[in-house]
Each structure stands twice: as C-alpha cells, then as structure tokens.
Structure 1
C-alpha cells in the first residue's frame, strides 16, 4: 500500500518523528478509550464503541478470508482458539490500544509478549506486578519516558487487563539493530538470540519476491527517501525484530505452562507472510497463530478490501481487521522530509 496507507503501524522514522512531538498532547477520550481506562471492561467486557461513527466501516471487524462481519465477542472467541493471538496496532492510535486491552481482558492469556519492552526489563516488571505496583512505578521501571514510544498510559491498560500473565519483551536495541543492518540478521541474531537463530530460520534468506516487497515497504515507510541498498539492510533489522517477537511469544508460553499468548506489536510485525508469524511457524509449526490488524478509516475509502495489506504474491497477510478512527496527527512524510531538509 502507498504512503497514505490507513493501517501503517507508524514504526518508521517519519511517523515516530510525529509521535514524539505529539506524545504529551492531551487526548480526547472516545467511548472505547474511556471504557478501557476506567477499568470497567475487565470484569465482563461489553461491546466497545468507536469514534468516527460517520464512516461506514468505523467499528467494523471483518474476517479477511471472506469479508464476514464479526462482533467483538465473536472475534475474541476466534482468538481464544489460538495458541498465539497477535494483535497489531498503529502505535500512536489510542483506540487501537483500547481495543487491544479489551481483547486481552476477554482472552485472559497466560502470557503477554510486547514489542515495546526489552528482555532485560522482564524480571523487574514481574516483581513489581506481583507486588501490585502502581502504573507510574511500572512505567519508571521500564524507563518508558525515554523509550520513544507513545505515552505509557496507552499501553498500561493492556498490562492491567491480564494481571496474572507472564510478560516477555522483544525489543531489539539500537546496537542489535545496527549490527543486523551491518552484518545481517543471522549474525546479529547470534548475539541477541543465541542458538535460536537457526530455530527461527534467520540463517536463511528471504525469498527474492519477499525481500523485494519488504524493501519496497521500507522505502515507502521512509517517504521514498531511502536508497535501495539501505532499505535492504533495514529489512535485515526488521527480520531480527520479527524473530525476537516470536522468541518472546515462545518464552512466554513456556513460562506460562503452555498457556495462550497475546502479542502486542505494530501491524507490520503482525503480517503473516514475513512478520512474527513466519518465525513462529519456523520454530513451532504445531502452534496455531492468528493475526489481527487495526486499520484507520479514511474519508472516501469505503471498500474494506482497500485496507487489507497484501504480500508479494497477492495474498492477504492478516486474518482479521478491526476498523477504527484515525489518530489525529500531522502528515508523517511532510514532517519527516521537512526535518531532513533542515541544516
């Protein structure tokens, strides 16, 4: 999909630049967000609401295979049958996080795997959660204020929705990302994942069509301003992140005595063709994995098919799509290119 893609996960520098500028702006509480933040959803999740009610797709949940409409309860039921439920997001969209928290409460997973949390923070987080620490204490332990992610208040309700769940982290730091870009995902993965590199298939290159598609996605995510060779190196870093997410899910499942796992990540990592599901299939093909992407509705785009991300061979790369309002934000490419042009 192009630069105007409604379900971009905002992990690219262009969007992250805008997020950093907006992260402390006060947010309007839509009905869904207010419901989740109040804690009322956790005892018996009611049907959530969404902003942008004028759009025909707003609030809709569709099964991608046939376009069938689903209720939130039906989606939760479908996810409950999976060993790993991957719930995507656009990082700065509060409605996406509220929906993630709602689903997490409904699923009551044994483990939560977070893209945004480092493995080195897991023990401290587990101790504080066991002690009933405050949201502020958890955020401080994760050094969230300096992490570059949107405000912790967007993510904390997801943790609070599963108070007894094991929490594992998949965040790959700058050093590991740089090593992947320089030396490839396999070499960098040996330091980050150890012997599991072969288990996740990082020692095997992507198929040519997938590699080309992944590089094109990186160029698009960087507003067309990324050289082809740099895009290829960034794909290696993305592969390492996807494998780290799969590893976090499997570690969480083991720690939860083979309990179900909910993975919280950007839409790009949730794609079934070459995201985290690919590496889960490499390492544990016996597990059932289901992917949900969140899509932001756009005026004039009323056909749900236009929002479905497709892979190099044309197939859809998510099992379900949940449509929400778009988060208010400056055009990320305008902001990114303007920043690049400054001396």
Structure 2
C-alpha cells in the first residue's frame, strides 16, 4: 500500500471509532468518503468537520463535493475559490439562501486554506421539479441516462426504500400519486452526486450530503460503479431517531452506513406540525 493511502487508512480507522455504534469495517486506503448530516444539527456539523479536518491536516488532499452548491454554479464556485480568501466571500458569491451557512463555513475555509477543490454536487430545485414533471431527460443527457440505466425500471429496493423514507419524512401527508415523481427527483439528485464523485475518485473525494443521500441501500452508493466500492467508506451522523430527516433509527443503521455517529438531538419544533400535504396532481 502506498504511504499516502496507508496514512488515510490508519487515520480514518481510528479517528471515529470512539463514537461509532457498530464495529467499523476495515479501511484499505479509502479514496471515497461519504459523510452524512442532519442539516440543522450543529453538533453533527462540528463533529464531522473535526473528523475531516484531522484527515486533511494529516496529509489527505481530496476534492470536497457539497450538496449545498447546485451543479450549474460550478464555474462560479471555481472562480470564487480562485479569488476569495475566506469562506464568507465564497458563500456571498455562490451560496443559496436556503442553507444555514454558518454550519458549512469551517469546511469551506478548510478547502481554501488547503487548496482543496470545491465541487457543486446537487441538482437544483428547479431541475428537480422538471424531473418530477417531465422525467430524467429534462435535465440529464442521454449518456448519463443510459450509463445509470435510468431508461429502465428502477431497482425495487430503491423505489420502495425511497418511498418509505419520503412518506416518513413528510409525516404521512403525501398523496400516493405524487410519490413516484418525488422518488424520481431524489434518484436524479443521487445520480448527479454519484457522477461527480466518480469523476473525482482518482484524486480522492469527500461528499458532504444529508444522511439520506449517503445511505448505502438507497442513495449515492447505489449509483457508484462496482469498481469503486472497495475504495468507499460511508459515515452517518445521526440523531437518536433522525427518520424525519431522511435517515433511519439508530437500531437500523448497521446496514445503511459503515459507521454511525450518534449526535445530540437538536431542539426543533415538531416538523409534522408545519408540513402541508403536497397538492395532488389529479
């Protein structure tokens, strides 16, 4: 094993072991690291940043792909990183207002300080809406659709799992007829993220995304090529029960993440009280 890969393997295997809820898988020079989040949980963000920072300080130089930047803004993000000296500058130029940017400021600053490429990894809301209305061809090119077999029926386990996650996340208030289109949009997001991860895997890449996106059974890992699975490690940063945040109860995370890190549940209003049932399309 090359020295740099050995360094990554040793640090990755040790830095997170204290708070994992199941035994860690052996790490053999992982070059693809998927790190989940509960979007509004500051403790989870702080812990994840500390874990990533240790790897970078020890010598790893991955690209950092982030759900918080939409893919069509990659050119602006690259330009901002070339000219900005602090995270607030990048956020002001490229940041979407719907995200709580103080949570992401440290990792963006880490990328600036160590010259780590920032990658815009998400499908925008407008493109996701087009996928819901018109299908994958509305926003994905023919080669991508063919490569990921989106012109064929989706795996049943993905469809059923995404449906269950969405129904739970929307507190059972989703009309049945809108669920298939929402599953399609979620799959499109995961495929876009997987494509970006794959394109940057040779140099090493970290994906920062919601716990739902990094799930091994439903999310980005499903769409990564078999050749990359040996170099993949997945960490979920989960609350005691984050099923309403696209994740799963702690008891069920052993098959979802390679390592689960329990973080303090963030105080928030009951989301089910504010969720309105999406309008039926019929």
Offset at residue 131 of structure 1 (A): 3.1
Match of 1:126 among 69, 78, 97: 78
> Where does residue 275 of structure 2 map in the other structure?
336
SS in structure 1 of the partner of residue 64 of structure 2:
strand
Distance across 2 between alignment mates of 1:287 and 1:201: 22
* 1:85 matches 2:29: no
Is the 2:69–2:95 Cα contact (8 Å) retained in structure 1? no
CA deviation profile, 1:303-324 (whole Å, cap 9, x unmatched): xx951446xxxx7111110111
Aligned counterpart for 2:46 among listed residues 98, 101, 104: 98
CA distance 1:131–1:175, shift in 2 (3 Å): closer
Q: Is residue 114 of structure 1 aligned with residue 66 of structure 2?
A: yes
Distance 1:241 1:219 in 2: 18
Q: 1:117 to 1:79 in 2, by over 3 A?
A: farther
The aligned residue for residue 11 of structure 1 is none
Q: In the alignment, is the contact (CA less than 8 A) between 1:309 and 1:317 conserved in 2?
A: yes
Per-residue deviation, residues 115-152 of structure 1 (Å, max 9, x unmatched): 110223223322332334322211111143x2x112x1
1:1-343 equivalences under 5 Å are: 61-62=19-20, 67-68=22-23, 81-108=29-56, 109-144=61-96, 146=97, 148-150=98-100, 152-163=101-112, 164-185=115-136, 187-188=137-138, 191-253=139-201, 258-281=202-225, 284-285=227-228, 288-297=231-240, 307-309=250-252, 316-337=255-276
Which secondary structure state, in structure 2, belongs to the residue aligned with residue 115 of structure 1?
Answer: strand
Higher helix proportion (structure 1 or 2): 2
Structure 1 counterpart SS, 2:265: coil
What secondary structure is seen at the aligned counterpart in 2 of 1:336? coil
Aligned position for 1:37: none
Change (3 A) 1:338 1:220: closer
Query: What TM-score comes out, normalization by structure 2 length?
Result: 0.79
Structure 1 residue 252 displacement after superposition = 3.2
Q: Tell me if the contact between 1:112 and 1:249 (Cα under 8 Å) persists in the aligned partners.
A: no
Note the residue ranges of structure 2 that are not aligned, 5 or more in a row: 1-10, 242-247
Partner SS for 2:260 = strand
Deviation at residue 82 of structure 1 after TM alignment: 1.3
For the Cα contact (< 8 Å) 1:171–1:241, is it kept in 2?
yes
Counterpart for residue 13 of structure 1:
none
SS of residue in 2 equivalent to 1:85 = strand
Q: How far does the alpha carbon of each residue in 1:59-102 deviate from its partner, in whole angstroms, 9 at most, with x for none?
A: 95226xxx23x7xxxx9xx6682121000000001112112222
Are the equivalent residues in 2 in contact too, given 1:297–1:324 (CA < 8 A)?
yes
TM-score, normalisation: structure 1: 0.66
* CA distances 1:177-235 after superposition (whole Å, capped 9, x unpaired): 122212333x23xx335522222232232233431232122111111110122111100
Backbone CA RMSD of aligned residues: 3.1
Distance in 2 (alpha carbons) for counterparts of 1:339 and 1:204: 27
Secondary structure at the residue paired with 1:195? helix
